[in-house]
Amino acid sequence: MTTLFVSDLHLDPERPRITSLFVDFLRDEARRADALYILGDLFEAWVGDDDPSETGATVAAETRALADAGVPVFFMRGNRDFLLGDAYARRAGMTLLPDPSVILLYDRPTLLMHGDLLCTDDTAYQQFRAQVRDPRWQAQFLSQPLPARLAFAQQARAASQAHQSGLKDQGTMETITDVAAATVEDTLHRFGIDTLIHGHTHRPAIHELDVDGRACRRIVLGDWYEQGSVLRVDGDGARLEGLPLA
């Protein structure tokens, strides 16, 4: 049996083929898995569990069916869907995980993160993250009417695109938006674990590194913009592979 990891699907009504690819994945390969872990940014945007989108309804029905079939589904919030709450998780049959989380993966302690906490060189983003993860900010935001929240999401997306465009113009996009090596090493040192799995950066790879004289691995999940990306882990090892569109 295999445990599956995905992240950064950024599901959006404007990209229905990716939603269909994910649904096919849930109905086929995921049904034979030990568990499915979704490490954030399942949706392009999430403004509250009363989000009326058809995409959200479809995903909830499919992950609930997977869980009902006996495959546990775990979800960690990302920077796009940090407002996904208990109500939607129950509807979708998903167990919410804190970021970071430690799991036992085939007798091997493994650290899971969305990944944005590792991008400490992007100070502007870290300041924004601290603001929107504040429970008081979230309570105030969720008390607003749905149209106002949807408008905010559009504005936030435009601001994010402008921020990234500015980094590109400065020639710092590749370094600022990737993880900081010192933060990765500090995180692995702090947890005393030699395997880290995360998403967020859209740079799929398996990195070998040395931390405190320990051989460690950082596995980065890919995004689902042009194709799927799945990490398959079993007792024999880990394989990070693409999932092509039909």
178 is in an annotated binding site: no
For 122-174, how does the pLDDT look when each residue is reduced to its tens digit (9 = 90+)? 998 899 999 999 999 999 999 999 999 999 888 877 776 666 665 555 555 55
200 is in an annotated binding site: yes
DSSP 8-state assignment for residue 30: G
160 is in an annotated binding site: yes
Q: Which helix (H) or strand (E) holds 229?
A: strand 228-234
24 is in an annotated binding site: no
Res. 1 pLDDT band, cuts 50 70 90: confident
168 is in an annotated binding site: yes
**Alpha carbons 78 and 98: distance in angstroms, whole number:** 11
12 is in an annotated binding site: no
**The pLDDT value given to residue 185:** 97
10 is in an annotated binding site: yes
Q: Which helix (H) or strand (E) holds 76?
A: strand 73-76
> Cβ contacts of residue 111 below 8 Å, gap of 6+?
100, 101, 102, 187, 188, 191, 193, 195, 196, 197
- Check residues 154 and 110 and name the one with the higher pLDDT: 110
**Alpha carbons 6 and 75: distance in angstroms, whole number:** 10
165 is in an annotated binding site: no
**The pLDDT value given to residue 121:** 92
3-state helix vs strand vs coil in the chain, percent to 5: 40, 25, 35
Burial of 115 (0-12, 13-18, 19+ CB in 10 A): buried
Dihedral sign for Cα atoms in the order 184, 188, 193, 198: negative
**The pLDDT value given to residue 154:** 84
Domains in the chain: boundaries: 3-243
80 is in an annotated binding site: yes
Architecture of the domain spanning 3-243: 4-Layer Sandwich (3.60)
For 21-64, how does the pLDDT look when each residue is reduced to its tens digit (9 = 90+)? 999 999 999 999 999 999 999 999 999 999 889 999 999 999 99
Place of tokens 């086929």: 28
